[in-house]
Amino acid sequence: MKVIVQQAAFDAGALVNTFTAAQAGMGAIVTFQGVVRGDGGLARMEIEHYPGMTERALTAIATEAAQRWSLGNVLVIHRHGSLAPGEVIMMVATAAPHRADAFAAADFLMDYLKSRAPFWKKEYAADGAAENATWVAAKDADEAALARWQGAGNV
């Protein structure tokens, strides 16, 4: 299990290949990448996080996934700082003997990461003015999504 929090861009494809090559006996690899959308004239976003707690929270979520499903490995990488539209914000990867576990675990990781890992996004419009920047509001749907996982997996 690996959890990485960094400001720098990462090569998602290279990470995926390394992750896949490191598995033994895993028939299924699922990845999710979150990408900055340029909707509504977004120029860039700033991602703030809580150093220390971020790594703890991501590790706890990954550990929970590994307890619920039969997984060979889990990778979580999440950026912070300034990101432009089209940039990859984060990625999760799961390896499992069977595809249902790999899919469910990746889906679970995303739902929990969104609502339980301490990241906050601030969006800057094209004029870049700080006074026009707005914090992204959490969606009720994101919190509601967690209820899907009550009793899911080997719990």
Partner 1 sequence: MMIDVLYFAWVRERIGLPRERVTTEAATVADLVAELIQREDRYAAAFAEVTALRVAVDQVLTGFDAPLSGAREVAFFPPMTGG
Binding residues among 52-91 for partner 1 as defined by CB under 8 A: 52-53, 56-57, 78, 89-90
Q: Output 56 or 87, the one with its CB closest to its own copies.
A: 87
- Give the list of residues 6+ apart from residue 142 with CB closer than 8 angstroms, or none: 111, 114, 115
Half-sphere exposure of 7 (CA within 13 A, CB side): 6
- Give the list of residues 6+ apart from residue 60 with CB closer than 8 angstroms, or none: none
Q: What is the per-residue binding string for its own copies in 35-54, x denoting contact by CB under 8 A?
A: xxxxx---------------
Q: Are 29 and 76 in contact (CB under 8 A)?
A: no
- Residue 73 engages its own copies in binding (rule: CB under 8 A): no
Strands 2-6 and 73-79: parallel
**Which residue in 47, 75, 102, 105 binds partner 1 (CB under 8 A)?**
47
Strands 73-79 and 134-135: unpaired
Please choose, out of 16-24, 45-53, 73-81, 115-123, the segment that lies near its own copies by the rule CB under 8 A: 16-24
- Residue 120 engages partner 1 in binding (rule: CB under 8 A): yes
By CB under 8 A, name the binding residues for partner 1. Answer: 34, 47-50, 52-53, 56-57, 78, 89-90, 99, 110, 113-122, 135-138, 143
